[in-house]
A and B are shown apart, each in its own frame.
Chain A
Amino acid sequence: MPAIRILYFASLRERVGRASAELPGDDPLTVAEAWSRLNPALPLPPNTLAAINHEYVDLGAPVRGGDELAFFPPVTGG
């Protein structure tokens, strides 16, 4: 099973201290569980947004091997 690729953007990348990470893909996880497994000392900041394969998802959504999971703060474009 391919790995889960995790991306962090903007201020969240700076808080976490890295732009990307990986998790084994053979373990069923939710978005929230993926966060706490990777960042056990850092509670998920309120208002954090998540996307799987470029689609917004809830924190309870399942993540599978091969997925690209992104965490980022509220967006400020335009």
Chain B
Amino acid sequence: MAVRIEIREHGFEPLAELAAHQQALDARLAGRYGATASFIGTMRDHNEGDDVRGMRLEHYPGMTERELARLAEEAVERWSLLDALVIHRVGELLPNDPIVLVAVWSAHRGAAFDACRWIMEALKSRAPFWKHETLPDGSRWVAKNTTG
């Protein structure tokens, strides 16, 4: 079982990260996985009907990593995943910047699809991150995540 969790303070390229991670895990898992599912979350330029110019993502250092590891490990256990990767941004973001990458590897597609979705939803309700948006005429804390 393996889980890799990273909090990034600077921009990252999810597709390059995904390719590099899969290439590295082939050293021990080539031939064993039949399914890779991934999710990339990207910053929008609008929220709740307002234009959004930028965003600051705060987190609780220490707890964030632990909580992400806990939920990724829970998914590995529940869906017998072969590997899982979570990368999440903090700091100052602009529209179109990647926020989060979740990727999982499993023998079959059902587990991969379900586990990837579950990790993402669990992250949204449990991982201690907070978004602060800059609007054209002020700023605000995002009070809650949108559903689905």
Contact = CB atoms under 8 A, between A and B. Distances in A.
A78 B62 contact: no
Interface magnitude class on chain A:
10 to 19
A77 B124 contact: yes
B contacts with A: majority SS: mixed
Contacts of B132: 10
B147 interface: no
A75 B128 contact: yes
A76 B129 contact: yes
Nearest to B122: A78
Contact of A77 (B62, B123, B141): B123
Nearest to A68: B62
Interface string A50-78: 01001010000000000000101111111
Given A75-B129, A77-B131, A9 B58 contact: yes
Interface of A: 7, 9-11, 49, 51, 54, 56, 70, 72-78
